[in-house]
Amino acid sequence: MDSVEQLFIVNSNGEVLQSLEKGDRILRYKSKKYLQDTEKTKYRFVKFNIDHIEEVLEIAPIVKHLFRYISFTSNLLAYENYVYVTPRNISMVTGKSLSNVRKQFQKLERYDVIKKKRINGNKYAYYFNPYIACRSSRIEIDTLNLFCKSRYVRSDK
């Protein structure tokens, strides 16, 4: 015999008000109020370290175009379909010359703003320094280890 757990909504006296069906959700009053008072946005936000952002923008102005491609938790620079960002892609998106974009990428690598890492054989991917900007408050440890010797790491930990 198939045992199915049955759930019920009860009031403070323990009286059954109604049973829950498959797919129903249980929300606390505060959660319901919060969901009514907020709206989910379709915007993609990036968190910046305000101590370093101006300096980074002066190093290479192309960096402002890279912010939109920072991936959640990994800081991998990729499009939504996980095609890796390359100087050629950014050159096409911004309309700047490929040689100009490559020079700026090299400058950003020298200053530890981005890191180039080999992925799957001969493919390369760029990671953005999470101490400068990130999409989430949680970052993968591998990404943090890439930038552990960066000059942007806080020294007052």
What tens digit of pLDDT does each residue of 72-84 get?
888 999 988 888 9
Give the model confidence (pLDDT) of 88-117 as tens digits: 999 999 999 999 999 999 999 999 999 999
CATH topology of domain 47-146: Arc Repressor Mutant, subunit A (1.10.10)
- d(CA 105, CA 36) in angstroms, rounded, equals 44
Give the model confidence (pLDDT) of 24-67 as tens digits: 777 777 877 777 776 666 667 788 888 888 899 999 999 999 99
CB 31 within 8 A of CB 24: no
Structure tokens at 68: 């939109």
Share of residues in the chain with pLDDT > 90 (%): 39
- pTM for the model: 0.71
Smallest CA-to-CA distance from 70 within 129, 146, 120 is with 129
